[in-house]
Amino acid sequence: MSELAPPRIRIGRYNIKAGPVAHLQAERQRLEGLSWEHFDAAPHGATIGATLTGVDLAQDLPAPVVAEVRQALLDYKVVFFRDQHLTAEQHVAFARRFGDLEVHPFLKSNSSLRELVRFEKSPEVGGYENGWHSDVSWRAEPSMGSILRAIEVPPSGGDTLFADMGAVYDGLDADTRALIDPLQAEHDFTQVFGRSLPPEKQAEMRQRYPPVEHPVVRTHPETGRRLLYLNRFFGLRIIGLPDDESQALIDRLCRQAEVVEYQCRFQWSPGSVAFWDNRAVQHYACSDYWPARRVMERATVIGDRPA
């Protein structure tokens, strides 16, 4: 970052800052210099998101194309595709090119393919995914990535936002980074998925999926990037801190995903596909379309244990 970068300033008595988010410069310039052999890429945010054109996900893609899509995922953290009118089987086949797929133990699946989670919202079923989170961080080995396909979308609303958690970590002050680098947090499914379970079923699922500990700051296993890995949906507490300090620190850290400069936003249309690196981003599904219908399906690629 240039030494001439203008400073961020604090506004009045409030804990808000204004001014250029200058630490994004190097990553933004790196992404602007990328070129691709098998598709074109149109970036979205400063350091996150790109729409890829020239790829038909319904086809059995050659290995070099799959490898380049994976590299684009690592670089842009989330990639988008338009006009991909896939069958459920084609959706799963594409996702399998990136690894084994998980079966979600709590969410409704496609009627014929257990690997596809189906999000079918309506006047009777509201959307409760409108909070910043990374998927299944309550697993011992959370997902590598998710591939979400739009089947039916509302006339307006229902966008999904993504936040670059590497940019979030880099934007923390040095003292905060030093504080959180060695910390571990406990992740648990019960805050979200335990709400609808009777006590005996919740106890059964706790046996299958006990709370797990993950580093507050993880290292991306493929890029080596340091990333904030903590969310308020599943992050229960920080190990070794009193409850009030733990809650305050989790809240302060997770609020950094709300900085707009770290984000990109995707407006869905039928046949749109988003593929995000669940290790590197958090996402937020806007729930502003009720009572309209919104139908999506998601395949999730199994990942590794955060370190």
Structural element, H or E, at residue 164: strand 160-164
Selected catalytic residue, list 214, 225, 232, 283: 283
pLDDT, residue 6, reads 80
**With bands split at pLDDT 50, 70 and 90, how would you rate the model's confidence at 3?**
low
| Spatial distance between the Cα atoms of 258 and 11, rounded to a whole number of angstroms | 17
| Spatial distance between the Cα atoms of 121 and 119, rounded to a whole number of angstroms | 6
pLDDT, residue 7, reads 80
135 in active site: yes
Q: Whole-number mean pLDDT of the chain?
A: 94
Selected catalytic residue, list 135, 164, 188, 277: 135
283 in active site: yes
pLDDT, residue 196, reads 80
Q: Which two tokens stand for residue 193?
A: 């998925």
pLDDT, residue 174, reads 96
- Give the pTM: 0.95
CB atoms under 10 Å from CB of 141, counted, come to 13
Are 300 and 145 spatial neighbours (Cβ–Cβ below 8 Å)? yes
298 in active site: yes
pLDDT in tens, 223-235: 999 999 999 999 9
Of 17-21, 72-76, 108-112, 127-131, which has the strongest mean pLDDT?
72-76
Q: Which CATH architecture has domain 24-302?
A: 4-Layer Sandwich (3.60)
| Spatial distance between the Cα atoms of 48 and 169, rounded to a whole number of angstroms | 14
End-to-end CA distance of the chain, in Å?
27
244 in active site: no
